[in-house]
Chain A
């Protein structure tokens, strides 16, 4: 039977590939991704489930799902003109189908995406974490951008459901989970920095989220992370929902590694329990 062996959380700022290409592998961003990547290499998952919020590129406002599971053989990206290499990545259609069917049977009305490509929010993390693109993924999209957002409680329950689905999947496989996104970030809205097109309006919230994660205080975080609280931390603040769904796939526990970049409003985290 399959099992979840580790979980990870990283940001996906679209300027990071170009930044690292310029500053080199010693810069902070490169080192933090490399730390997370080293754990992925060490647990060697067969599949990587990715909780992600698309930014109007895979989906648009003509049809914007709250939750959607991507089921395809192969996808490519980024599809949003992010300056970085373009990649193809395999999707584990069998596990994706099993998760979607299990979810629907348990009351999660999961939309279906086929024949799609993805934006920087999936491709920036994979570029740094699995650049050989040798681990098939299951993309699960959560609406973290377009109010009304799903609740933290619902996203956590989604994560629990995904864990049960993995554990009831007949294949013998080690599965890891990746959350992509920030805790405080505003792009193009009134809370941006003067003279710029983005900003981190709520460093205190990012610090608080980081502390909750560090202490394994997940249920406290779920209570606090209301939609209005997240959106006060920025119009991208709902990306925390990806992390909360990821946390739903594992027991409440402290991370093996977590490091914030508070001026960016995000963090890099690793959850492992294999004793190595």
Chain B
């Protein structure tokens, strides 16, 4: 159920400018305050959006991260990674 925290983090990155700046300057530290599982934390810091998607995170919300290249996620990198995710549809 805690994948909710990943989705919430993406939303907060859009709406909370201070949090966004913190994610940008020191991502590991910014994540310390969040109730994430170790797998979620690891995947976020690695920019592993395919894994987060497979864990149930929303692709729509994850793609917010590319707006500020958070976790190294430029649009081309994000696109390449998410397209490789397992897609049950």
Q: A interface vs B, CB < 8 Å?
A: 55-56, 60-62, 80-81, 145-146, 186-198, 228, 231-232, 235-236
Contact = CB atoms under 8 A, between A and B. Distances in A.
Contact of A195 (B60, B64, B76): B76
A188 to B, nearest CB: 3
Nearest to B78: A197
Interface of B: 4, 7-8, 11, 14, 50, 53, 58-64, 66, 75-76, 78-80, 82-87, 89
Nearest to A147: B89
A198 B63 CA distance: 9
B60 A189 contact: yes
Nearest to B49: A188
25 contacts: A55-B60, A56-B58, A56-B61, A61-B4, A61-B8, A62-B8, A80-B14, A81-B14, A186-B59, A187-B63, A188-B62, A188-B63, A188-B64, A188-B78, A190-B59, A190-B86, A191-B83, A191-B89, A192-B63, A192-B79, A192-B83, A196-B75, A197-B78, A235-B58, A235-B60
A55 B10 CA distance: 13
Contacts of B66: 197
A189 B82 contact: yes
A56 B76 contact: no
Contacts of A189: 53, 59-60, 82, 87
A60 B80 CA distance: 27
Contacts of B75: 195-197
Contacts of A193: 79
B73 to A, nearest CB: 10
A145 B61 CA distance: 11
Nearest to A233: B89
Name the residue in B7, B62, B76, B83 with the highest tally of chain A Cβ atoms < 10 Å from its Cβ.
B83
Contact of A190 (B8, B64, B76, B87): B87
A193 B63 CA distance: 13
Nearest to A192: B79
Contacts of A62: 4, 8
B60 A61 contact: no
Nearest to A80: B14
Contacts of A146: 58
Name the residue in A81, A145, A189, A228 with the highest tally of chain B Cβ atoms < 10 Å from its Cβ.
A189
Nearest to B3: A61
B3 to A, nearest CB: 10
A235 B60 CA distance: 8
A232 B79 contact: no
